Structure 1
Amino acid sequence: MVYAVVRAGGRQEKVEVGTIVTLDRLKAAEGETIELPAVLFVDGDAVTTDAAKLAEVKVTAEVLNDLRGPKIVIQKYKNKTGYKKRQGHRQDLTRVKITGIK
């Protein structure tokens, strides 16, 4: 079993070849190939965490599409003062498919 843990958008994701992952918005066009930095690489029983060896690991992904996450509602309320505030947010996301781990 071959998989890697990659750093993407301030988080770490466990990926294998063929995995579809949703990341924070990337500045890449649809259909473009990107490379993600590996933090951990596992090939069968061999686990690689050394930074020098991880620099040689190439995790490539193809950008499928851009999308937006679900709307979250932020509400603030103070009792007896008449203060209330409502705000919404939708995160910009990119969906990618892992094409290779070498």
Structure 2
Amino acid sequence: MIATGGKQERVEEGQTLSVELLGKAEGEAVEFAPVLVVDGETVLAGPAQLAGAKVTARVVGETKGPKIRGFTYKPKTRGRTKWGHRQHYTEIEITGIQR
């Protein structure tokens, strides 16, 4: 389990997932500090046990999330605003988990 972009994700080797924009070029390697490592019956949690653990990943590319549309309206003043947002994400592929 890794933490990135204020969120925690459960990952396995070979998995591809979208995370908050990292600002890395395609093909670059990225390292994450794990929050929790579960290996069969062994569970590693806490800073002392996870001191040497790391998760490596490769940047596959960038994608966009779904379009979000919003509308605000203020009565009696003709105030109305239509807005939209589309979040950018970085696609990564988990290449290794070291304990």
> Under a length normalisation based on structure 1, what TM-score does the superposition of the two structures give?
0.89
Within 1, Cα distance between the matches of 2:18 and 2:51?
A: 23
Q: Does 1:29 align with 2:25?
A: yes
Overall identity of the aligned pairs, in %: 45
Counterpart for residue 59 of structure 1? 55
* Shift, 1:27, TM fit: 1.7
Q: Does 1:50 align with 2:46?
A: yes
Q: Does 1:40 align with 2:45?
A: no
More displaced 10-residue stretch of structure 1: 78-87 or 46-55: 78-87
Aligned residues: 98
Counterpart for residue 85 of structure 2? 89
Within 1, Cα distance between the matches of 2:97 and 2:91?
A: 18
Within 1, Cα distance between the matches of 2:75 and 2:42?
A: 58
Within 1, Cα distance between the matches of 2:49 and 2:24?
A: 27
* Shift, 1:46, TM fit: 1.1
- Give the secondary-structure state (helix, strand or coil) at the position aligned to 1:41: strand
* Shift, 1:19, TM fit: 0.7
Q: Deviations over 1:46-72 (max 9, x none)?
A: 111121221211100000001221211
Q: Deviations over 1:23-79 (max 9, x none)?
A: 011121101110011111101111111212212111000000012212111211234
Counterpart for residue 16 of structure 2? 20
> Under a length normalisation based on structure 2, what TM-score does the superposition of the two structures give?
0.91
Unaligned runs of 5+ in 1: none
Unaligned runs of 5+ in 2: none
